[in-house]
Structure 1
């Protein structure tokens, strides 16, 4: 085999989309997802692909961002879907090496499968603590005082300020991100989540970001009521590192793997934002 590793460019999006639809997940609109990074970033590529002649035989997607973390701008690369045809699996590692050869990036992997996880450990990726809780969304009586929950973009836009407003604007058009604003008196909390689907049907909300952990915890009942009655989601899944606690009315879940490799960032600085989790609805 004569196999080349080359960057995925804008011109390759349609061909890569067709490859992933045929060989990875046909339910995802890959063409939209690959073109759906709505925040401003100078990305070197969309990831890397293996080509045998002119034919794509493997891909490793990447989502890039520039983040202000710990008082300095950090360049992040989120490693996305990794798919290689069976005949070429022995060359899979070439894609990862090409990604990691890019200088100056901290790399996150937020949904690795079992096989890639072992490879990532060899390349010095470290695990994140993803202990989580599952909260049933119940139709609680509407008796929550002054607490209001809204998904209205206009309400969110005119209420948020500072870094939370920037975060919302960066993700407002991301295909997999959903947004809520919780208000109680003069307090407000921006919540970002994605929907987990089973056989194409939205099943539960996965919390990706909470702007005010204290208000989120105090407003958990109206939030979960809203997710059930307004969006048809029967439960809410939340990692404790995101919401800051294990809610009383919840079930503990075993952690699922998330990993990162960085010379400058600590685990507490790694989150689910600016990643495949907000860009790719599956």
Structure 2
């Protein structure tokens, strides 16, 4: 084997209809065979009817994707400090699988069931004033430092998750050793308050689809949930 383009396949429901997704996950070709790389790409993209996502493109792949019709997603991201602040009265954060199984319903329950064994995905539930918020996140490295929480999916009551974010941030810091969160607004639905700065050049994420818009693209069923780095 001299080259591989690994892909993750899923079927998603959009507008009440099933839509096949192909997530381009990992692309590696030995240097002496690089002239044939495009054959791998065209074989994948030749599949009809798929929505294609590339959520961690790097190097020359970004420009190649753009030439092949991929669009960039809005990845506006704020780097937020996770501070050891006490949780407000009545606010609780848990990672207990039994609680997540009992509390989550509908799409959130389906997403959790599909990803609870995914190696890179971690899950927490926050409860406040009778409402709950669900967060799926991963540990990321920047400059070889594994100190960053990256949200992958936000469910439950969005207002609850935002209001209880100080407790969530403290949990990420004290229980997971993650002092910083890469808060992508498109995924969270809000920008957490507190010390932080907007990234000038957030990492690109891309997709290609004929009849699906960027609002239907997320981080699920992808290498972001399946591969630690």
- Name the TM-score, length of structure 2 as normaliser: 0.95
1:138 match: secondary structure = coil
5 Å-filtered alignment, 1:34-49, equals none
Q: Does structure 1 residue 70 correspond to structure 2 residue 15?
A: yes
Q: 1:256 aligns with which of 186, 203, 207?
A: 203
Instruction: Name the structure 2 match of 1:133.
Output: 78
Task: Please list the CA deviations of residues 72-110 of structure 1 after superposition, one character each: whole Å capped at 9, or x if unmatched.
Answer: 111000001101111111111110000011111100000
Q: 1:79 aligns with which of 24, 32, 56?
A: 24
Instruction: Name the structure 2 match of 1:268.
Output: 215
Distance 2:172 2:111 in 1: 21
Q: Give the drift of 1:248.
A: 2.9
Q: Does structure 1 residue 217 correspond to structure 2 residue 162?
A: yes
Q: Give the drift of 1:185.
A: 2.5
Distance 1:171 1:93 in 2: 31
Which protein has greater RCO, CA pairs closer than 8 Å, 6+ apart? 2
Q: 1:184 aligns with which of 128, 138, 142?
A: 128
Distance 2:147 2:12 in 1: 31
1:206 match: secondary structure = strand
Maintained 8 Å contact 1:202/1:232 = no
Q: Give the drift of 1:198.
A: 5.7
Instruction: Name the structure 2 match of 1:247.
Output: 192
Instruction: Name the structure 1 match of 2:111.
Output: 167
User: How many residues get paired?
Assistant: 226
Instruction: Name the structure 1 match of 2:173.
Output: 228
5 Å-filtered alignment, 1:45-124, equals 56-124=1-69
Distance 1:181 1:245 in 2: 17
1:268 match: secondary structure = helix
Instruction: Name the structure 2 match of 1:31.
Output: none
Distance 1:251 1:197 in 2: 18
Extract unaligned runs of 5+ from structure 2. none
Distance 2:48 2:228 in 1: 29
1:133 match: secondary structure = strand
Q: Does structure 1 residue 281 correspond to structure 2 residue 228?
A: yes
Task: Please list the CA deviations of residues 211-231 of structure 1 after superposition, one character each: whole Å capped at 9, or x if unmatched.
Answer: 133222111100000011111
Maintained 8 Å contact 1:135/1:235 = yes
Extract unaligned runs of 5+ from structure 1. 1-55
1:190 match: secondary structure = strand
2:3 match: secondary structure = strand
Structure of higher CA gyration radius: 1
Maintained 8 Å contact 2:87/2:166 = no
- Name the TM-score, length of structure 1 as normaliser: 0.77
| Counterparts in 2 of 1:122 and 1:143: CA distance versus 1, 3 Å | closer
Maintained 8 Å contact 1:111/1:257 = yes
